[in-house]
Amino acid sequence: MRLDKWALQRLEDYLTPFNELFWDRRHIAVFQRAIRGVIAAEAPLISKIGGAVPHQCKNNFHAAKPFYRLLDKTPQGVEKFSAADILDTLYRKTYDTFKDCEEPILVAMDLTSLEKPYTEKSEGICLVEKNDKSGQVNGYMLITGLALGGVGMTSNNGKKGLAYFKVFSHQLELMSQNAERRLCITQIKASFKGKRLRFVSDRGFDDKKAFREFIGEERDEFIVRAYQNRLIKVNGEERKLLEYVRGLEYCLSFDTELKIKRRRRKVKIDLSIGSFECEGMKLWVVRTVVRGFKEEWILITNVPVTDLDTALEIWRNYARRWGIEDFYKFAKNNLNLEAFQVEELEKIRKVLSWVAVAGAFLYDLGVDINDPHVKLLLRLGGFAGRKRDKPGKGAIERGLSRLFIAMMVNKNLKNNSS
């Protein structure tokens, strides 16, 4: 099958479950064109989306009107679609991806800022911490959950799925960040009802309330990188966490490859394990140090770390958490996640739900790297295939964007010539 027909068919098949969310066939067509436009334009800018898909309008302004109308309510005040419904459909697709997984499913959590430094009048715009921790800036908060597959050391088959994706405002909504976190965890548990989960997150979730929320009635598991130097009990004696952990003897050393200081390096990791009590919870700790560097990971978990194999699994589970940061960087750099220019918070959520769908589709495409059509997209996206190069989602997105733009130009030329 020709590459252009294959790409359109794959996109149409992927978007089929979303059709039932719309009560008008015209809205279905505009939604599908919107996802195609986000990929082609590499941005959630309505004017660029309109100009990146085939149209018969005189200019991009008129081509963008159907997408603006899709975001608006009807004259009767009815929403034409809901961002929550779009995302719920994505979550169901994620569940279907991992429904046959018998071991606990690893779910990475992340809380990031959507920085809008030059925006002042958008609904709910508020001060958020810069992602590089250098100060504050206008923007919104984004909380994300990404399902990464089973927790076993050999279970990462490349499949990922969005488990939660919500933009929120500290200023507009009467919910604290902790309440948003609790809502996120509750919804992920509901989406994967009947499945065992193992949450893995960075230091922003190092909070005893978060620990209890992760465990819940389902007795799920968690791995959190330590941030607070809290009081703990070791054999009935109160001690500071960092003092105790840094005094543990190394019990395992292993070689791996990590990205440190912007370069991938072969390094040696020293690992130590311990256990303690905190707020009535029995917890374990895995500390790893990169030999020759100042990199240190102190990982708190409720998974019983009773042997070295389990300790190594905990470390590898945390290493896989970086997949959610890759997803955010991909959405930010390749799809320009922060470039939206609508002002109402609900419209922002709708537009970013398009980005979430486009990103999930591209991740789905990237699972089968050996597919000849995917290889062609990689070549179109600039993948050179050098020895140390790894085919990534960015190259697939660039290739698909160039393909869609070429198809749009060809279609418009045919329309103009006729």
Give the count of beta carbons closer than 10 Å to the beta carbon of residue 242: 15
* Token pair of 417 as six digits: 């010539």
Return all residues near 157 (Cβ < 8 A) that are at least 6 apart: 149, 367
**No. of helices (H) and no. of strands (E), the chain:** 13, 12
- Separation CA 263–CA 278 (nearest Å): 37
Rounded to an integer, the average pLDDT of 404-409 is 92
Report pTM. Answer: 0.91
Q: Which of 264-268, 275-279, 366-370 has the highest mean pLDDT?
A: 275-279
Confidence of residue 158 (pLDDT cuts 50, 70, 90): low
At residue 160, does pLDDT exceed 90? no
Please say whether the beta carbons of 244 and 256 come within 8 A.
no
- Cα(185)–Cα(104) distance, integer angstroms: 15
Q: Which residues pair with 141 in a beta bridge?
A: 113, 168
Q: Is the pLDDT of residue 415 over 90?
A: no
Give which of 275, 270, 276, 324 is closest to 297, Cα–Cα: 270
Calculate the alpha carbon distances from 367 to 97, 134, 157, 198, 323 in Å: 12, 36, 8, 22, 14
| pLDDT single digits (tens) 354-382 | 999 999 999 888 777 788 999 899 998 98
Specify burial of residue 74 (Cβ count, 10 A radius: 0-12, 13-18, 19+).
Answer: exposed
Please report the pLDDT score of residue 338 as a whole number: 93
Three-class secondary structure of residue 161 per DSSP: strand
Residue 72: phi and psi, rounded to 5, are -80, 165
What is the total residue count of the chain?
Answer: 418
Q: Report the C-alpha gap between 223 and 170 in whole angstroms.
A: 27
* Strand-pair partners of 197: 105
Q: What is the pLDDT of residues 56-94, one digit of tens each?
A: 787 878 889 999 999 998 888 888 899 999 999 999 999
Distance separating alpha carbons of residues 255 and 181, to the nearest angstrom: 35
**According to the model, what pLDDT value does residue 418 have?**
61
Structure token digits, residue 142 = 């984004």
Residue reference for tokens 């009467």: 174
- Residue 113 pLDDT exceeds 70: yes
When the pLDDT of each residue in the chain is averaged and rounded to a whole number, the result is 90
Residues 214, 201 contacting (CB under 8 angstroms)? no
Closest Cα to residue 409, out of 67, 65, 51? 51
Helix (H, G, I), strand (E, B) or coil at 146: strand
**What is residue 153's predicted lDDT score, i.e. its pLDDT?**
52
CA-based nearest residue to 288, from 262, 311, 321: 311
Ramachandran region, residue 385 (left: φ > 0; alpha: ψ -120 to 50; beta: rest): left
- Rounded to an integer, the average pLDDT of 90-110 is 92
DSSP 20: G
| Among the listed residues 221, 160, 184, 207, the one whose alpha carbon sits nearest the alpha carbon of residue 110 | 184
